[in-house]
């Protein structure tokens, strides 16, 4: 037994190297898996467009009114679209057992789950941020705020993915965790929504947006630092329980 | 010190010590709440602007204090449970959640009732009201998560993680809601900016706050003891005690 271990060990010369290897492998694997299920990547985007379509129908097609509420609408709809995609973040890995392999891996689970969250953001948050300006045009969003909208959504959705992953990890072992997941995660999303929509509103009003974006960045930094540990602890609970 | 903590972790020892402490807190709660209520409702002078409607403060403020303190105690109990695996801490956290949620509801409801005579409306998207509403949702999330698991151990650990995550987020939420409120709506009138209260008004309030805290401690001790009996019902000392009674 001892010999077998030493026979495998030489491939990983330093612990740090093993971590980089594991991180890139997780990133690559998740990207490939997600890109093979294009429907799942597209669904949040379609949902985003659909929800935005509902508002002019439900409220009023008047461009002046729409321009007034567009920042909030775009942010809330993008937030809900990101929320919708969270349930599948760990679900398939939980079902086929690869999540258990992640737990057994010698590399820290917090780092590996961070890689999974990064893929989730790349394929959900970032596309949503890129798509938002197009929907902004349809809502008569005043010009000059499109770049801020995209940047604030890109920054904010990374925080949303990190916080949401805690909820997804807590509910992945439950058969019907979907509604519960939104109940857990939505209250924690409120600060991001406030500063994200606030940035767009500040841009429309002609104020400086750097304060809003800086706070969004600070929220992201704090989430990057703390959320991986909570995600790892939650995954352990969901799998061992 | 450590021996004391270890003893506190034993359900049997905790059951014994809490049985001795509980009556004192019940007595303190009853005395303080009765004194505070009578003093606040009958003897404290009426507010020169709000008249008698300001007396809702004697329920509203203590409830709001408790709503926030209970969440913090719940998170501390959850952390203790996660780090040291002390089961009693989790039992306490379990029984605290519904009380905290109801206190949050009481403070929201009494605030709404108070809003009618002072603001002329049941609800305003005021920063404090909004933060309290979010706190209520956080409580409901913790309760719902605990109920969703079939295994008690997973439920306890999951609820502990969520309570700790929530308590880290509460200051961030509070701060951002304050920012949002000052950015969006001019503070036309707030409850906070009333003139400093005279002694005969805030003394009953202080007594009510202390009374509510005693009530919280007494109720938590009582419900934790029930929870101990329920969870440890297959232990010998519990059976012996039940047969004695």
- pLDDT for B187: 43
Contact residues on chain B for A195, CB-CB shorter than 8 A = 176, 179
The total domain count for chain B is 1
CB contact under 8 A, B134 and A233: no
> Confidence class of residue B26 from pLDDT cuts 50, 70 and 90?
very high
Q: Say which of A166, A195, A226 has its CB closest to residue B176.
A: A195
Contact residues on chain B for A186, CB-CB shorter than 8 A = 137
Contact residues on chain A for B145, CB-CB shorter than 8 A = 170-171, 180, 184
> Confidence class of residue B166 from pLDDT cuts 50, 70 and 90?
very high
Lowest-confidence pick of A11-15, A50-54, A123-127, B29-33: A11-15
- pLDDT for B216: 95
- Whether B195 is in a domain gets the answer yes
- Over range A13-29, report the average pLDDT: 80
> Confidence class of residue B188 from pLDDT cuts 50, 70 and 90?
very low
Q: What is the ipTM of this complex?
A: 0.85
pLDDT in tens, A152-181: 999 999 999 999 999 999 999 887 778 899
Helices (H) and strands (E) in chain A, counts: 11, 0
- Whether B89 is in a domain gets the answer yes
- Over range B169-175, report the average pLDDT: 87
CA–CA distance from A112 to each of A86, A161, A239, B231 (Å)? Answer: 17, 15, 16, 36
pLDDT in tens, A43-99: 999 999 999 999 999 988 898 999 989 999 999 999 999 998 998 889 888 988 889
The total domain count for chain A is 1
Q: How far is B213 from chain A (nearest CA, A)?
A: 27
> Confidence class of residue B126 from pLDDT cuts 50, 70 and 90?
confident
What are φ and ψ of residue A120, in 5° steps?
-60, -45
Q: Assess whether pLDDT exceeds 60 at residue A6.
A: no
Answer positive or negative: Cα dihedral of B207, B210, B216, B222.
negative
Give me the CATH number covering residue B42. Answer: 1.20.120
Residues A107, A226 contacting (CB under 8 angstroms): no
- Over range A12-38, report the average pLDDT: 82
The domain in which residue A225 lies consists of 17-240
d(CA B22, CA B224): 11
Select the residue from A177, A191, A216 to test the B interface by mutation, using most B Cβ atoms within 10 A. A191
The domain in which residue B194 lies consists of 22-244
Instruction: Name the residue of chain A whose CA is nearest to B172's CA.
Output: A191
- Whether A87 is in a domain gets the answer yes
- Whether A7 is in a domain gets the answer no
- pLDDT for A12: 53
- Whether B72 is in a domain gets the answer yes
Q: Say which of B141, B153, B164 has its CB closest to residue A187.
A: B141
- Whether A210 is in a domain gets the answer yes
> Confidence class of residue A185 from pLDDT cuts 50, 70 and 90?
very high
- Whether A10 is in a domain gets the answer no
- Over range B205-223, report the average pLDDT: 94
Contact residues on chain B for A183, CB-CB shorter than 8 A = 137, 140-141, 144
d(CA A118, CA A230): 16
Q: Assess whether pLDDT exceeds 60 at residue B82.
A: yes
Average per-residue pLDDT for chain A = 88
Contact residues on chain A for B155, CB-CB shorter than 8 A = 241
The rounded percent of chain A whose pLDDT value lies above 70 is 93
CB contact under 8 A, A234 and B177: no
- pLDDT for B202: 82
Instruction: Name the residue of chain B whose CA is nearest to A183's CA.
Output: B141
| Long-range CB pairs of B101-105, under 8 A, 24+ apart, other chains included | B101/B136, B101/B139, B101/B140, B101/B143, B103/B63, B103/B64, B103/B66, B103/B67, B103/B70, B104/B63, B104/B67, B104/B132, B104/B135, B104/B136, B104/B139, B105/B136
């Amino acid at each position: 037994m001892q010999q077998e271990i030493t026979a495998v060990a030489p491939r990983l010369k330093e612990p740090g190297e093993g971590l980089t290897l594991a991180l890139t492998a997780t990133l690559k694997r998740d990207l490939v898996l997600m890109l093979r299920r294009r429907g799942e990547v597209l669904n949040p985007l379609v949902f985003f467009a659909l929800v935005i379509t509902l508002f002019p129908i439900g409220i009023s097609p008047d461009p002046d009114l729409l321009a007034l509420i567009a920042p909030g609408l775009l942010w809330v709809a993008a937030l809900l679209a990101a929320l919708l995609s969270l349930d599948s973040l760990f679900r398939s890995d939980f079902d086929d057992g690869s999540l258990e392999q992640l737990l057994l891996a010698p590399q820290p689970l917090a780092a590996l789950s961070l890689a999974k969250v990064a893929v989730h953001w790349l394929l959900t948050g970032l596309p949503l941020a890129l798509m938002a300006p197009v929907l902004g045009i349809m809502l008569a969003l005043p010009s000059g705020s499109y770049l801020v909208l995209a940047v604030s959504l890109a920054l904010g959705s990374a925080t949303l993915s990190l916080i949401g992953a805690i909820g997804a990890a807590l509910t992945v072992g439950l058969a019907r965790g979907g509604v519960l997941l939104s109940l857990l995660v939505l209250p924690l999303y409120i600060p991001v929504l406030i500063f994200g929509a606030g940035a767009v509103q500040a841009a429309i009003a002609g104020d400086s947006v750097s304060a809003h974006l800086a706070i969004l960045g600070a929220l992201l930094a704090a989430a990057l630092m703390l959320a991986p540990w909570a995600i790892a602890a939650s995954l352990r609970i969901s799998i061992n329980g | 010190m450590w021996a004391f903590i270890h003893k506190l972790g034993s359900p049997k020892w905790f059951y014994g010590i809490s049985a001795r402490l509980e009556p004192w807190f019940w007595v303190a709660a009853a005395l303080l709440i009765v004194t505070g209520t009578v003093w606040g409702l009958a003897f404290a002078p009426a507010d020169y602007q709000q008249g008698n409607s300001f007396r809702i403060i004697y329920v509203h403020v203590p409830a709001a204090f408790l709503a926030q303190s209970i969440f913090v105690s719940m998170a501390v109990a959850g952390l203790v449970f996660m780090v040291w695996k002390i089961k009693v801490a989790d039992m306490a956290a379990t029984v605290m959640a519904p009380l905290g949620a109801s206190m949050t509801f009481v403070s929201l409801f009494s605030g709404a009732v108070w809003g009618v005579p002072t603001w002329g409306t049941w609800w305003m998207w005021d920063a404090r009201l909004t933060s309290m509403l979010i706190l209520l949702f956080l409580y409901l999330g913790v309760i719902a998560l605990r109920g969703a698991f079939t295994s008690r151990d997973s439920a306890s650990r999951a609820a502990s993680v969520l309570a700790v995550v929530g308590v880290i987020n509460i200051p961030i939420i509070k701060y951002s809601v304050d920012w949002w409120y000052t950015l969006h709506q001019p503070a036309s009138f707030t409850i906070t900016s009333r003139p400093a209260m005279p002694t005969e008004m805030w003394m009953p309030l202080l007594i009510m706050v202390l009374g509510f805290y005693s009530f919280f401690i007494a109720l938590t001790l009582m419900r934790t003891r029930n929870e101990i009996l329920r969870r440890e019902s297959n232990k010998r000392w519990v059976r012996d005690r039940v047969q004695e009674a």
